[in-house]
Structure 1
Amino acid sequence: MSTAENFVARVRGGFTGATSGAVSIAAHALGGGGTPTQSAVALLIATTLAVGVVAAGTRLPLAGVLVAGQVLGHLVLSFDAGHAHIPGPAMIAGHAAATAVAALLVAAAERGCRIAIAALRRVAPKPFTPLPVRVAAPAPSFRPPVLRGLLRSAGIVPRGPPVTV
């Protein structure tokens, strides 16, 4: 998977998890469930993270992942409030509408993310590639013996590795 597709998958997972949690809290509040406790919110965050990871890591249908996230979130908040119940037709219709809208919004966010990445690739400079370096001319192999004697008498002794190396 390329870096761009990995980023788009993370956007899909983040939006799917966040949408599942937000719809669960909104449905709980509209259903008269009251304010959830800290433990319920912590469990709901863990549930929405799991939904986001599933949405980012697989190519399951987005609507199915959203429905599963809403059901799990609703169960977490219902058990916290102590009123597990069978949802009525109005609640199922509300969740279905929320799923459809959320699926459209997440798909639009994925498409927008791909468009933005493509635009950035066109505008951003190419990665730096260094120019080829020319090799310096080899050192002359012939040195007259007169120069060597003059250098030694002046106290200048070459300190390089032996020629055989």
Structure 2
Amino acid sequence: MNSRTDGVARTRGMFVGSASGAVSIAAHGLGGGVAVPSEQAVVLLLAGSAVVGAITASARTVGHPLLFLGAVLAAGQGIGHLTLTLASDHGHGLHLTPQMLAAHAAATVVGAMLIRAAERALLGVITSVLRIVVAVLSAPPVPDVRRWTPTVVRRLDPTIGWITRSAGGTRGPPALSR
């Protein structure tokens, strides 16, 4: 893989991992679960989302990237739902309510389409701009070294010397006679 493909894959993994966690919390709350999960549930959800993102970033998608994204998002949301259900203090069991299932399905479809659109349209531009910005910011500063150049001193016009010699020299105090 080249660096652009690696960057797109890492960004895809980041998007999938963060979307899985965020949608899991939202769909869990919309489906009748606890709106604000406990600290333990959030920590486990972050760990699960990071694992899903890392697996997505390392997987190669040769054909049908939209289906791959949908499958990975669905798996990530399933892991998120399971994590929130097991780690939360409420007990609605592992069953999915129709509202929760609809929220997960809609989020999977919309999320896959948005991530794919971001990959195709924006990531090439964003990667190019970021590459330029990083190159400019990481370039070593150019020292401001000014070279010494000799300054030409202007000489007096020689006609002034002719005028003073023709007048008998320079004028001075009168000489004393004896």
**Percent of pairs with identical residues:** 49
Taking only aligned residues, the RMSD between alpha carbons, in angstroms, comes to 2.4
Report deviation, 1:88: 3.1
Structure 2 contact 15–115 (Cα < 8 Å) conserved: yes
Q: Which moved more, 1:18-27 or 1:105-114?
A: 105-114
Deviations 1:19-56 (A, max 9, x none): 00000010122223222111111100000000101111
Normalised TM-score (structure 1)? 0.67
Alignment of 1:101-140 (within 5 A): 101-111=110-120, 112-117=122-127
Alignment of 1:57-76 (within 5 A): 57-59=58-60, 61-76=68-83
Q: What secondary structure, in the 3-state scheme, does the structure 1 residue paired with 2:126 have? A: helix
1:120 and 1:25 mapped to 2: Cα distance? 31
Larger Rg over CA atoms: 2
1:103 and 1:32 mapped to 2: Cα distance? 24
Structure 2 unmatched runs, 5+: 62-67, 137-178
Deviations 1:44-88 (A, max 9, x none): 000000010111110351111000000010011111233323213
Alignment of 1:146-165 (within 5 A): none
Q: What secondary structure, in the 3-state scheme, does the structure 2 residue paired with 1:83 have? A: coil
Structure 1 unmatched runs, 5+: 126-165
1:74 and 1:90 mapped to 2: Cα distance? 13
2:131 and 2:18 mapped to 1: Cα distance? 28
Structure 1 contact 17–52 (Cα < 8 Å) conserved: yes
Alignment of 1:76-87 (within 5 A): 76-81=83-88, 82-87=91-96
AA matched with 1:65: V
Distance change in 2, residues 1:86/1:121 (3 Å): closer
Regions of 4+ moved over 6 Å: 119-122
